[in-house]
Chains A and B, each alone.
Chain A
Amino acid sequence: MNFQELYYKYKNTVYNLAVQYVQNIEDAEEITQDVFLKIHQNLNRFEKRADLKTWIYRITINTSLDYLKSKKAKKRFSFFISLFHNESNEPLFQVSDFNHPGIELENKEAVERIFRIINELPDRQKTVIILSKIEGKSQKEISEIMQINVKAVESLIQRAKSTLSQKIYSQSKGK
């Protein structure tokens, strides 16, 4: 399979998975571009034995998580700079990056609320929730993508659910 065929086969898989991590199309486009550049660079080195789709999933997850980390660092830096140069009336914080294109308007508020909590989860817990609850992957598929055993996936899902419950509980208590 050449690069063009590979792109057209997996572009939506990569793009949709990236959207679940960043919840807006601009960042998802950046991530999709980065993922396919990495695939282009490493296609020759890719071992034919491994599953291509799993490999692409892994690259997309790692690229998305790295992208989020660097974005967070940039935000922190710009906040720090704004402390010293806040001459304009612009707000110190950006209110929201949430602009998920796959959500119906009537569900937007509820889904945005749950995404805000998912975004606070540790990387691995966030990944299992995205793969199992949004992408609809089985525990076996998740274990192959994350290169861990099925029991570890199960335990990660339980831990993620428990963290989410605690966060929802503390949020509702705060209201």
Chain B
Amino acid sequence: MLLKRVVAREGEQVEFRAGRLYVNGKEIEEPYVRFPCNWSLPTRGVEKDCVYVVGDNRSMPIEGHHFGQTSKSRIIGAPLW
């Protein structure tokens, strides 16, 4: 089981520029990210019935982090606090 944050929904465009997250071209404030990163990821669209998830711990290189688009049907719960 993976615990990840949903950062974008179907139809939205996601990208990382110099470690900052952009959704539909707009920079997202992410106060929950403790360790800065320098990730870069070209823009990609979130497909139908999918969400885009990323973890809050981004201290590792982008290749070593499990994140990306997944089907909504895989979501089994949400944190209680």
A and B assemble together? no
Residues of chain B touching chain A, judged by Cβ–Cβ distance below 8 Å, are: none
